[in-house]
Amino acid sequence: MSTAATDWRARAADLRPDGRALIDGRRVAAADGQTFDKHSPIDNRRLGSVVRGQAADVDAAVRSARAAFDDGRWAGRPPAARKKVLQRFADKILAAKEELALLETLDMGKPIQYSLSVDVPATARCIAWYAEAIDKVYDEIAPTGRNALALITREPVGVVGAIVPWNYPMIMAAWKLGPALAAGNSVVLKPSEKSPYTALRLAELALEAGLPPGVFNVVPGFGHEAGEALALHMEVDAIGFTGSTRTGRRMLEYASRSNLKRVYNELGGKSAFVVFDDFADVERAAQTVAGSMFFNQGESCNAPSRVLVHESIADRFIEIVAAEAPKYRPADPLDPATVMGALVDATQLTTVMGYIDAGLSEGAHCVTGGRQARAETGGFYVEPTVFDGVDNRMKIAREEIFGPVMGVIRFRTEAEAIAIANDSPYGLQASVWSDNVNRAHRVARALRAGTVHVNQYDEDDITVPFGGYKQSGNGRDKSLHAFDKYTELKTTWLRIDAA
């Protein structure tokens, strides 16, 4: 495997990614021929042109998906047969590991070492896991009387529209594709305009693996064009959306304006990381929050961006975090030693710098970072930034920044910590750090979040559900629970006559 930065740069220079849509098993231009230029956030170099999908392209993709669903070319196959195809798909993802990792890094700026070690393997594992699961889930028979039989069965919902963001482009797509395809649905995927390339390659690999044409289509384009057309389409039965809370609201509007399609929203977060003074290993807690916060340039929905620390240990905690933060200084994402890459684009850079200014003007104290970095590259980089003296009413504590910026809030009592942690429109994830087992359980129960970590923040697995309370969304990705989103429950009553 090539590891040197020079190799990756040479391969990047040779890359000519194909930005055409994939509809009905074929790579196609937009019906009206429109494209947009895609640049890399690493150095603002132009990567290529990408189809700017419009309603007509979405309509072609949905019709193809509908035809594929209705004739049973995929849904009609036995689960064990679907499993085989999806297992091959997962194998092909792993075989294309370096190509996919390079595309992901060039497209959205994350370090190549993580595209290789996290994004590609997690994508393959997700597809393989749902492949393995689908011939092991059983339906039900209700405990009714002797003269009747009530079958409770799951059927695919039909055509699924998947609309995903740019921060983990492949993994977010896989979280929709895995359960939706395994259950027998057809899918139209709209990747983010900021990271379209890996989705298009995934669809090609699925075809090579034997997924019938029409079952998995990809229409790149902008949210207000291709995204809106997909979410409004009358032949789309469910939307699996991951993105901002602002766009998630629109998904619900689109459904109400069209066919009341099922909408599953996986949205933003402002996760609380609560450290009590009875947790002995302050160093580990501080190192963990830095690692989790600055991973993926802070562009993670579950980033622990609100750090609540008991006042008696806060100075020491901040000292350690401030010493850790510079270790995540951004560098060339194509260098395998790099741990923090580029923000996704100039807009995101402006947004993040705007929040840093807001923190300063509202009176928070910037302990480390706070500046743009590597501007000479033409790319979009920000230093890992830590604010002390944050009040939960400040803008940097209330709004999702989606950049490498954490704010430390000091608290005195357990009740105060719980109240601050829960005082957020979001409820995606939280964590509690305490060596007192009663307190750990008590606080974990009190935190209003879809996932709560105790004394760690890194555990993650496809076997567990992921999703949020409150304005962080509804429904769950991952685990067997994700099948709930992409299946309908059917009751079938049969009469049994007496002999």
Judged by the rule CB under 6 A, the positions of this chain that interact with ligand NAD are: 163-167, 172, 190, 192-193, 222-224, 227-228, 231, 242-244, 247, 250, 266-269, 301, 400, 402, 428, 468, 473, 477
In the complex with ligand NAD, the residue whose CB is nearer, 253 or 357, is: 253
User: How far apart, in Å, are the Cα atoms of 119 and each of 132, 167, 174, 275?
Assistant: 20, 10, 10, 29
Residue 373 in tokens: 């970095």
- From the candidates 193, 301, 400, 414, give the one annotated as an active-site residue: 301
Q: Which is nearer to ligand NAD, 171 or 356 (CB)?
A: 171
Alpha carbon distance 261, 258 (integer Å): 8
366 is catalytic: no
Q: Taking Cα atoms as reference points, which of 168, 100, 104 lies closest to residue 402?
A: 168
The secondary element (H helix, E strand) that includes residue 141 is: strand 140-141
Known catalytic membership, residue 266: yes
DSSP-assigned states of every residue in 149-193: EEEEEEEE-SEEEEE--SSSHHHHHHHHHHHHHHTT-EEEEE--T
Asked whether the beta carbons of 91 and 125 are under 8 A apart, the reply is no
The strand pair at 385-388 and 365-368 is best described as antiparallel
Residue length, the chain?
A: 499
To the nearest whole angstrom, how small is the minimum distance from the Cβ of residue 229 to ligand NAD? 8
Give every CB contact of residue 36 below 8 A, 6+ residues apart in sequence: 49, 50, 52, 193, 222
In 382-413, which positions are buried (b, 16+ CB within 10 angstroms) versus exposed (e)?
Answer: bbbbbbbbbebebebbebbbbbbbbbbbbbee
Going by the DSSP 8-state scheme, the letter that residue 119 receives in this structure is I
List 485's β-bridge partners, or say none.
Answer: none
- Tell me the closest approach of the beta carbon of residue 304 to ligand NAD, in angstroms: 13
Classify strands 372-373 and 365-368 as parallel, antiparallel or unpaired: unpaired
- Dihedral, CA of residue 172, residue 93, residue 161 and residue 16, to nearest 10: 90
**Least Cβ distance, residue 75 to ligand NAD (angstroms):** 26
- Residues contacting residue 20 through CB under 8 Å, at least 6 positions apart: 27, 28, 29, 51, 200
Q: How far is the CB of 194 from ligand NAD (least distance, A)?
A: 7
Q: How far is the CB of 268 from ligand NAD (least distance, A)?
A: 3
Residue with Cβ nearer ligand NAD (10 or 464): 464
- Minimum CB separation of residue 192 from ligand NAD in Å reads 4
Under a CB-based contact definition with an 8 Å cutoff, are residues 52 and 29 in contact? no
**Which residue's CB is nearer to ligand NAD, number 58 or number 286?**
58
Of 349 and 428, the one with the shorter C-beta distance to ligand NAD is 428
Give dist(CA 352, CA 298) in Å, integer: 10
Minimum separation from the CB atom of position 449 to ligand NAD (A): 11
Q: Which two tokens stand for residue 149?
A: 């039989």
Closest to ligand NAD by CB, 332 or 477: 477
Smallest CA-to-CA distance from 307 within 222, 187, 432 is with 432
Nearer to ligand NAD, 87 or 422 (CB): 422
Task: Report, in Å, the least distance between residue 299 CB and ligand NAD.
Answer: 7
Q: Which one of the listed residues 104, 193, 225, 266 is annotated catalytic?
A: 266
Kindly state the smallest distance separating residue 240's Cβ from ligand NAD, in Å: 11
Q: Of the two residues 318 and 462, which places its CB atom closer to ligand NAD in the complex?
A: 462
Radius of gyration from C-alpha coordinates of the chain:
23
**Which residue number, 242 or 434, has a Cβ lying nearer to ligand NAD?**
242
Alpha carbon distance 458, 460 (integer Å):
6
Which residue's structure tokens are 């750990």?
Answer: 440
The closest of 281, 317, 310, 286 to 417, measured between CA atoms, is: 310
- Which residues are marked as active site? 266, 301
